Amino acid sequence: MSDIERRTKTVELPPTITVRELANSIHSSPIEVIKNLMSNGVMANINQQIDFDTAAIIAAEMGYEATLETQENEEEEQGENPLWRQMIAGEDQVDLVSRPPVVTILGHVDHGKTTLLDAIRHTDVASGEVGGITQHIGAYQVELKGKTITFLDTPGHAAFTAMRARGAQGADIVILVVAADDGVMPQTREAIAHAKAARVPIIVALNKIDRSNADPERVKQQLAENGLVPDEWDGDTIVVPISAKKQEGIEDLLEAILLVAENIDIRANPKGKVIGTVIEAELDKSKGVLATLLVQNGSLKVGDEVVAGVAFGRLRAMFDHYGRKISKAGPSTPVSVMGLSEVPPAGELFYVVNSEREAREMVNERQQERGKTSAAAKSVVTLEQLFDRFQAGEVRELRLIIKADVQGSLEPIVSTLDEFSSGDININVLHAETGNITESDVMLAAASKAVVIGFNVSADSAARRLAEAEGVSIRLYDIIYRLTEDVEKALKGMLPPEEKENVIGHAEVRAIFRISKIGNIAGCKVTDGEIRRNCRIRVLRRDKIVHEGPISSLKHLQEDVREVRAGFECGIGVKNFDEIEVGDRLECYFIEKVAVEEPVF
């Protein structure tokens, strides 16, 4: 094979892929992939999902050029869990009508997402009809110039990613809130990566322009550096200056949304098959399961038989975002519904089926299918994390994988351990999960030089065998403070040993002897302690240090000696220092390295 042929091995990868699948695709072993991710600063286990960009970097390092699978391929593969877009593709094109765009708000913490959502809600004139109060159901709609926009009301990347992970792609447009006084921050970049990966257009809301330290030009520069070139600089990204707090620029932002929506094909068939996404859901003591659903195709009706993941049921009642009872909801409408058998996870797709029997069959099939895939496959490592870790550089850290019996004990353990991190040493919890210690935990630990800690759990025999073979330490605890105490000790064991100086004696220079080839020798009297040949000398002149360094020679009565005690005279040569003078005081000392604590793990 020629060099060129070797370099042009290509592989098609989906937008997200597990470590195991990636290894298969590039004919490598999962351990190799994990190691490669590690050397790029990403800790992942075998079932972990990584995004396309990260996978492409790893593939490139292993000699493959990765291309993103085309949408058709992706949809074919997800036949069991089709995207709503696929649904629409199957609809009779003449029945398709444009529907309101669904918008989600992303951005760095404190940049004003919540304030903006409130400000937008207040612009809604229709809310006046019911006293201006909208119910919090995780989504709401506003109207502008006779057109409707649907907003998802849970800002944050987790919700957006949860939808993506299930192929739901709940939003048509992302509003990226960037505070004009703070600029592009890590979560801003993360949001850009999420939106780009989902191929959802971004509109930037340049918030807090009322602040005296707002610097919009700087932020635009940063946005451009992150691939969002503002339209005023001939780019594709609309940047709308706003003040969410003073409710300024909100209408401009809504107009920008309508403008972008016109340019993307946002259509659905209100008469078609009903499909949508679960926005949020909870168990209400008196009403049972309350779920907010976003209808994406078709029209949802009271009495419909709905399946969402493994939850199903006949819809008993339906409410709009004002809390008004409604009987029918078309595409892009968020509704709160009662009647599901259990709480479906946010981001889950829902469908209307013909009968309860069909619903039960679908749920049974899914339960069997789900038993096979681990929950770990749901968390996604992003490209942003990869870059952040690159930039962070190497840090001294104690890497841990923590398994605990219940979430309730996992959280306090992780937060206590996090507090131990100091500037010098970090605790890096690579993975924290409930459940027994398994082979895959040990594999991750082996690849990442981590310690596995179990609280009220055990390690199965396969995990133990692998740990022994790979030299991975597994520590089991049943008392939290013992666990945290040991980690603290382990951390101290990792600290560089402290250097301690021990002064052992002083001498006074009374004469200087010039000896050819050797240089100046100080004729001294030891005033206290002792002077040792293998120690260091500090030369003090009128209490100022003029030199520090090792002794080159130590003589007593012309003889080389190892030490000279107080009261005796001696000749001292100081290495690389010839400027010694009568009257100088010599201090003899040695440096001791003291380990702060013995390592525990």
- Interface residues toward ligand GDP, by CB under 6 A: 107, 109-115, 155, 207-208, 210-211, 243-245
Residue 455: CB minimum distance to ligand GDP, A: 32
* Angle, alpha carbons 531-534-540 (nearest 5°): 50
Residue 147 to residue 161: CA distance in whole angstroms: 28
For 498, the enclosing helix (H) or strand (E) is strand 498-515
Helix (H, G, I), strand (E, B) or coil at 236: coil
Number of alpha helices (DSSP H) and beta strands (DSSP E) in the chain: 17, 34
Backbone angles phi, psi at 385, to 5 degrees: -60, -40
Residue 194: CB minimum distance to ligand GDP, A: 15
Residue 209: CB minimum distance to ligand GDP, A: 7
Q: Which amino acid is at 233?
A: W
How distant is the alpha carbon of residue 491 from its chain centre?
23
Both structure tokens of 288: 């049972």
Residue 157: CB minimum distance to ligand GDP, A: 12
For 163, the enclosing helix (H) or strand (E) is helix 157-165
Q: Strand pairing partners for 365? A: none
Q: Which amino acid is at 98?
A: S
Residue 252: CB minimum distance to ligand GDP, A: 14
Query: Half-sphere exposure of 555 toward its Cβ, with a 13 Å CA cutoff?
Result: 12
Residue 120 to residue 135: CA distance in whole angstroms: 14
Contact 247, 256 (CB under 8 A): no
Q: 121 or 431, CB closer to ligand GDP?
A: 121
For 475, the enclosing helix (H) or strand (E) is strand 474-477
Residue 112: CB minimum distance to ligand GDP, A: 3
Residue 116: CB minimum distance to ligand GDP, A: 7
Q: 156 or 270, CB closer to ligand GDP?
A: 156
Residue 162 to residue 280: CA distance in whole angstroms: 11
Residue 250: CB minimum distance to ligand GDP, A: 10
Give Cβ neighbours of residue 599 (< 8 Å, ≥ 6 apart). 489, 490, 493, 494
Residue 182: CB minimum distance to ligand GDP, A: 10
Q: 196 or 211, CB closer to ligand GDP?
A: 211
Q: 142 or 275, CB closer to ligand GDP?
A: 142
Residue 212: CB minimum distance to ligand GDP, A: 9
Contact 432, 410 (CB under 8 A): yes
Contact 432, 455 (CB under 8 A): no
Residue 114: CB minimum distance to ligand GDP, A: 3
Q: 75 or 118, CB closer to ligand GDP?
A: 118
Q: 181 or 508, CB closer to ligand GDP?
A: 181
Q: 112 or 272, CB closer to ligand GDP?
A: 112
| DSSP 8-state secondary structure symbol assigned to residue 537 | E
Residue 453 to residue 444: CA distance in whole angstroms: 13
Q: 241 or 309, CB closer to ligand GDP?
A: 241
Q: 245 or 475, CB closer to ligand GDP?
A: 245
Q: 179 or 451, CB closer to ligand GDP?
A: 179
Q: Closest Cα partner for 152 from 90, 97, 200? A: 200
Residue 104: CB minimum distance to ligand GDP, A: 13
Contact 553, 560 (CB under 8 A): yes
Q: 244 or 340, CB closer to ligand GDP?
A: 244
Give Cβ neighbours of residue 238 (< 8 Å, ≥ 6 apart). 203, 204, 230, 231, 256, 259, 260
Both structure tokens of 387: 């870059």
Q: 44 or 242, CB closer to ligand GDP?
A: 242
